[in-house]
Each structure stands twice: as structure tokens, then as C-alpha cells.
Amino acid sequence: EPEVTQTPSHQVTQMGQEVILRCVPISNHLYFYWYRQILGQKVEFLVSFYNNEISEKSEIFDDQFSVERPDGSNFTLKIRSTKLEDSAMYFCASSERGTMNTGELFFGEGSRLTVL
């Protein structure tokens, strides 16, 4: 069964360092998403991406975040200069359809980021 894969599963970094989280969405999906979950809190939407551009983003997704689809298979989230409060589980998701999608996103297992 096709699945969304994320790497790394766990990354530890020093405050101020740049981090890139990688995702391989399901191959025929066209819409991609990042969410995060700080321990004990809600799963929060960060950004959605379609046709090589951001289609929607939340207030959390500020200038320190960026997303990219560098090739035909990967979808990345970059955090430019990490802060302690960026420590969270980051989930990548993909879907076949975007704005007409009625909610079936397919999620990866998550990448846990720990900022020291």
C-alpha cells in the first residue's frame, strides 16, 4: 500500500541551526501539507503546497519556515534558524485533490525535532 515517508524520524539540533525535514508523498498525489504537534498540544496546520507554490499557510508559518519540492518525489520543510519552541513532531501529508478534497489526507509517521 502506498505511503508517505518522512526522514529523519528524529533529529536533535542546536538552537540557531538550520534544519531540513524531508518527505516523500504518495506518488500520484498533487497536494502536500506540513503539520506540527508540540508535545501535549494540538496538531497544528503549517502549510499546504500545490503546483510548486504555497496554496495556504497558517500564522505559525512565518519567514523562518520554507517549503520546497526540489524534484519529482521529495517535499521538504526548512526551518532557517531553529528556536527552542520549534521542538515538536512534524507531520507531512499528501492528498490527491486539494480544495475539493473532503479531508482525506495521508500522513507520514512524523519527524521529531528536538532543539537544544
Partner 1 sequence: AQSVTQLGSHVSVSEGALVLLRCNYSSSVPPYLFWYVQYPNQGLQLLLKYTSAATLVKGINGFEAEFKKSETSFHLTKPSAHMSDAAEYFCAVRRSGGSYIPTFGRGTSLIVHP
The dihedrals phi and psi of 86, each to the nearest 5 degrees, come to -85, -10
- Is 4 near partner 1 (CB under 8 A)? yes
DSSP alpha helix (H) spans, the chain: none
**Spatial distance between the Cα atoms of 5 and 114, rounded to a whole number of angstroms:** 19
Q: Which of 83, 101, 114, 116 binds partner 1 (CB under 8 A)?
A: 101
Q: Interacting stretch for partner 1, rule CB under 8 A, among 10-18, 66-74, 80-88, 107-115?
A: 107-115
Stretch that binds partner 1, among 14-22, 64-72, 74-82, 99-107 (CB under 8 A): 99-107
Cell 490527491 maps to which residue? 96
Grid coordinates standing for 7? 526522514
Contact letters (x/-) for partner 1, 40-79, by CB under 8 A? xxxxxx--x-------x-----------------------
Cis previous bond, 70, omega within 30: no
Nearest to partner 1 of 4, 21 (CB atom): 4
Find the Cα–Cα–Cα–Cα dihedral 37, 91, 15, 52, rounded to 10°: -130
Q: Which stretch binds partner 1 (CB under 8 A): 12-20, 64-72, 74-82, 97-105?
A: 97-105
